[in-house]
Structure 1
Amino acid sequence: MKLLQFYHLQDEERKLQVGILEGESTVVALNTSGTARDVIRQSNIKSLKAVAAYRLEEVKLLSPVTDPEKIICIGLNYHDHVIESKMQVPKVPVLFPKYNNCLTGHGDEVVIPDEVSQCDYEVELAVVIGKKAKKVSKETAMDYVFGYTVLNDVSARNIQLNEPQWTRGKAIDGFAPLGPWIVTADEIENPGNLSISLKLNGETMQNSNTKELIYDIPYLVSFLSNTITLQPGDIISTGTPPGVGMGQRPQVWLKPGDVVEATVEGIGTLRNTFVASE
């Protein structure tokens, strides 16, 4: 099942609706007044009824989760990315937060603030938590996963790498495009073996597989839940493979007009255009 959030393009109020994608092009709205996070928390998707159906081109897709309690990102979690970053393999997962202000949807424009001179892209597999997880084992960790989506961990390198911590360079408004939808866990047979890639203006920049993760999903869910209670709708973004702009020779920084397409096998492609600050 592909769970999504959207509004109908003819709706002047742009009311958020929760729905599912049927086939390749039909969006079915569900009879809920809450958000996707509410649906996940209540575990009642199958009990919800269809109230309308639209063609995909008739709706504007939003971030599939707009109100998570937590967005926890993992840094330096692919071996080759550690090498291109000229850093050491971390002995424990490297963590940093993003916040709801960072979230934006498929097809949205991402504004590059004037202060950001080195704007970078990072395709990542993101995990969406399905139920409260506290001190869970690696063996049971996958029972707490609701599904998966794609996150572009947009980063301001000139801020991130010149300050003692990463948050200000990572948590900029709009710097976490997410989507286009959440694919439920039952449809992804092995999240530890998915091709993951990113194109910039049609050119492939990143191309790897989640089997190259240093810390896999069961480990991350267990590790985090030991000290941080994970809640339904929380997002864990698992890190990016090599090929980021910072690692290119010469380095490649995102500029106004650039189109980024981040793809994870079995989920889909998240597409965003970058624009200058007004």
Structure 2
Amino acid sequence: MKLISFNLNNEETFGAVKGDEVVNLKPLFKGEANTLKEVLEKDLLAKAGQLAANATATLKFADLELLPVIPEPGKIFCIGLNYDEHVKETNKEKTESPVIFLRVAESQVAHNDSIVLPPESVKLDYEGEIAIVIGKGGRRISEEDSWDHIAGYACYNDGSIRDWQTATSQWIPGKNFWKTGGFGPWMVTADEIEPNQKLTLITRLNGEEMQRATTDMLIHSIPRQIAYISSFLPLNPGDVIVTGTPGGVGAKRNPPVFMKEGDIVEIEVDAVGILRNTIAAEA
């Protein structure tokens, strides 16, 4: 099942994608859940599937004003330096524990929305990644049990303002400029992707392939990430973990390649879909 968040008549709602059409699920829940995050918090994902299966799609996907898959995650954990090639190109070393930084909700945009190039910099870089959305919360989750805590998977572009990221030892400013992180187009529910299934991640800039990797290349696996993060903070339904980017980022190319106004960047995950964003200068 593919689930999305979107605006309809100036109101946030959520739905299930069926081909080119969408079932608006919010009215079918009759107040029991008003957002996709609430569906996860109330353990209603199975009910969403039943309602979607029995309903007729009435909306055109192409006509919708999409939102990030989870518009207001409680926490967005991003894993840095999690592929060997990216570790090498940044002249870093592997770490025994995952490198973690945080993004905030305001730094995200939806599929087909514009990633914003701010006037403070011209060094806007792409980072294709796979995001997991937590469906079942927990503290000190074991690696063995981790798959049961995943609601689904989405594409993510951890857009980075490189000079602000590297200005100090703390990455947060460069990773949280307004509307620089793409999240979408939808969440594919975990029942459609097997635990440990090898997923292929590809980043394209203006049609040219810039990054390619598979999840068996992750230094810290998805179960390891869930176990590690939940050891210091509880994971809650709707939280997001962005699992790391492979080698090939623009800043480490020769010459460097940064995204500019009018560029089109795509993040593809073979079992999920394609996240597409255009770059626009901030007005």
- Which bracket does the TM-score occupy, shorter chain normalised? over 0.9
SS of 1:226 mapped into structure 2: helix
Task: Work out the CA distance in 1 between the residues paired with 2:195 and 2:147.
Answer: 11
Structure 2 residue 101 is matched with structure 1 residue 91: no
Partner of 1:7: 7
Match of 1:270 among 270, 275, 282: 275
Task: Work out the CA distance in 2 between the residues paired with 1:215 and 1:119.
Answer: 26
Partner of 2:23: 28
Partner of 1:47: 47
- For structure 1, the 5+ residue unaligned runs are none
Partner of 2:80: 75
SS of 1:77 mapped into structure 2: coil
Task: Work out the CA distance in 2 between the residues paired with 1:143 and 1:159.
Answer: 37
Task: Work out the CA distance in 2 between the residues paired with 1:52 and 1:15.
Answer: 19
Partner of 1:164: 169
Amino acid at match of 1:259: I
Shift of 1:79: 0.6
- For structure 2, the 5+ residue unaligned runs are none
Structure 2 residue 245 is matched with structure 1 residue 249: no
Task: Work out the CA distance in 2 between the residues paired with 1:206 and 1:232.
Answer: 30
Task: Work out the CA distance in 1 between the residues paired with 2:7 and 2:189.
Answer: 21
Shift of 1:91: 2.0
Runs of 4+ more than 2 Å apart: 45-52
Tell me the alpha carbon deviations over residues 21-43 of structure 1, each in whole angstroms, 9 at most, x when there is no partner. Answer: 11x21101112451110011112
Tell me the alpha carbon deviations over residues 163-221 of structure 1, each in whole angstroms, 9 at most, x when there is no partner. Answer: 12000110111122100000111101245511100110011111111111000011110
Amino acid at match of 1:20: A
Q: Is the 8 A contact 1:78 1:242 kept in 2?
A: yes
Q: Is the 8 A contact 2:115 2:181 kept in 1?
A: no
Tell me the alpha carbon deviations over residues 145-179 of structure 1, each in whole angstroms, 9 at most, x when there is no partner. Answer: 11111110000111111212000110111122100
The correspondence of residues 129-140 of structure 1 with structure 2, limited to 5 A, is: 129-140=134-145
Partner of 1:102: 107
The correspondence of residues 217-228 of structure 1 with structure 2, limited to 5 A, is: 217-228=222-233
Shift of 1:267: 0.4
Task: Work out the CA distance in 1 between the residues paired with 2:100 and 2:147.
Answer: 20
The TM-score, its normalising length taken from structure 1, stands at 0.94
Partner of 1:142: 147
Task: Work out the CA distance in 2 between the residues paired with 1:104 and 1:72.
Answer: 16
Task: Work out the CA distance in 2 between the residues paired with 1:192 and 1:155.
Answer: 28
Match of 1:199 among 195, 204, 226: 204
Q: Is the 8 A contact 1:192 1:216 kept in 2?
A: no
Shift of 1:78: 0.4
Q: Is the 8 A contact 1:29 1:51 kept in 2?
A: no
Distance 1:140 1:45, change over 3 A: closer
Over the residues paired in the alignment, what is the CA RMSD in angstroms? 1.4
Partner of 1:128: 133
Tell me the alpha carbon deviations over residues 2-61 of structure 1, each in whole angstroms, 9 at most, x when there is no partner. Answer: 1111234xx3xx222110011x21101112451110011112133354486212223222
Partner of 1:230: 235
Task: Work out the CA distance in 2 between the residues paired with 1:137 and 1:29.
Answer: 36
Q: Is the 8 A contact 1:135 1:222 kept in 2?
A: yes
SS of 2:257 mapped into structure 1: coil
SS of 1:47 mapped into structure 2: helix
Amino acid at match of 1:152: N
Structure 2 residue 255 is matched with structure 1 residue 259: no
Amino acid at match of 2:125: D
Shift of 1:106: 0.3
Task: Work out the CA distance in 1 between the residues paired with 2:20 and 2:182.
Answer: 21
User: Among the aligned pairs, what percent are the same residue?
Assistant: 39
